[in-house]
Structure 1
Amino acid sequence: MSGRVVAQEQPKSFAFTPENLKKAKAIIAKYPKGREQSAMLPLLDLAQRQNDNWVSIAAMNTIADLINVPYIRVYEVATFYTMFNLAPVGKYLVQVCRTTPCWLRGSDKITKTCKKKLGIEMNETTADGKFTLVEVECMGACVNAPMVQINDDYYEDLDEKNMETLLSQLAAGKKVTVGSQIGRQTSAPEGYKGKGATPAKTSAKSSFDASSKDATKKVKVGMTPPRNEVTQPTSKTKGSTKSSPKGKK
């Protein structure tokens, strides 16, 4: 995401590399004749990856020519979807989620850490061209909040310390751990160590837990659950109706 502002300075031309042109034609071939415009989104993504993580107007026009649509049609799509960057960005596009779940878990501290570590404000790029910092809305990883997306990858369970470490490792060209930064397995409860492991200990069991366990012991496999006399009256319940004899209504 780049603030949805189209770059004022635009390259005069764009052409897919021979390898990417081959990929582009393969993408277009997946769609029926006359429906080539359905390839627009993957072609924009392909162009962005070739063009240092942003889509120029020249790239949009090249795609329009490939799928035989007016230039404005590709421009409309590229400027609508926020995953397409409309201006040059850094090598690492750091997108900090600012939606409520992440904010409640400390995303404001993550934002401050990024600004301090990188020496830039939101929607700015570092002088060396390595990092661009932006804020985004929910990216669907609320359970592991706070989180950021950097290029294609999610980094979750962040705090000031591991966020600073992550940025330092990227700046140094080191390999980084994608996903949870505290060793969490996907979205498992904190402390869970893998399949078959015992989850982390919690506080003493509540009376609800105990009563649920007792109730489970009393119910046998295949046992018919008790009827609700209000919604499912039995034949002994006042006002119940008798079933009709077989063959009669």
Structure 2
Amino acid sequence: MEVSHIKQEINMTEALMQRINELLSHYPADKKKSALLPVLHDVQDAHDNWLSIELMDKVAEILEIKPIEVYEVVSFYTMFNRRPIGKFMFEFCQTSSCCLRGAENLIDYTCDKLGVKLGETSADGMFEVKAVECLGACGYAPMLQLGDFYKENLTKEKIDQLIEDCKEGKISLH
């Protein structure tokens, strides 16, 4: 499992713990593991959008499961990050419909434009480009996810505009 050895401050605030407890209330007391995905989402959101080993261990402790059970989930799903990432992550769908409509060329174009390789963070910490599995918007291919939003029917011009909007602070991630 590729993980970062960068130290991450663990900040389980009162508000975050209240949210975790609220999530846990939806499941039987002996089935805390069932809350793993939503807990990981909230914990990641509260920790600069990534999960260190120590933070994953803390989630395991809270849910009363083995750390390996958390590592398996975090390493399986592309929505969880195991190292610090760029503020704006362009997650391009790389499956059939998107590739048939030019996603691979747009991924290369975006990487060139930002001066990064796939999976790297730009020198200014602003951008990252990632290829992910199907995002379920095949009718609007090629597409990417940026924060909580889908950007569809992409072209080079739309990519250029997205980058400019991010740089100018016009993009909200939530």
Specify if TM > 0.5: yes
The Cα shift of 1:40 comes to 1.1
Alpha-carbon displacement from aligned partner over 1:114-135 (angstroms, at most 9, x marks no partner): 1232111111101111111111
The equivalent residue for 1:39 is: 35
Secondary structure class of the residue paired with 1:60: helix
Instruction: Give CA deviations for 1:61-106 in whole Å, capped at 9, x if unaligned.
Output: 1111112112222222222222111111111111112222112212
Tell me, in whole angstroms, the C-alpha distance in 2 between the residues paired with 1:106 and 1:32. 46
Calculate the TM-score normalised by the size of structure 1: 0.65
Q: State the match for 1:247 in structure 2.
A: none
Would you say the 8 A contact 1:98–1:137 is kept in 2? yes
> Which ranges of structure 1 fall in alignment gaps of 5 or more residues?
177-249
Paired AA for residue 47 in structure 1: V
In structure 2, the partner of 1:70 is 66
TM-score by length of 2: 0.91
CA distance in 2, matches of 1:31, 1:149: 30
Q: Judging changes above 3 Å, is the alpha-carbon distance between structure 1 residues 175 and 86 closer, same or farther for their aligned structure 2 residues?
A: closer
The residue identity in structure 2 corresponding to 1:122 is: L
- Which residue is 2:84 aligned to? 88
* Structure 2 residue aligned with 1:228: none
Moved over 3 A (4+): none
- Give the structure with the higher percent helix: 2
Q: 1:109-188, aligned counterparts within 5 Å?
A: 109-175=105-171
Matched residues in 2 for 1:51 and 1:175: separation?
20
Bigger Rg, structure 1 or 2: 1
1:29 to 19, 25, 32: 25
Distance 1:58 1:175 in 2: 31
> How far apart in 1 are the matches of 2:2 and 2:81?
9
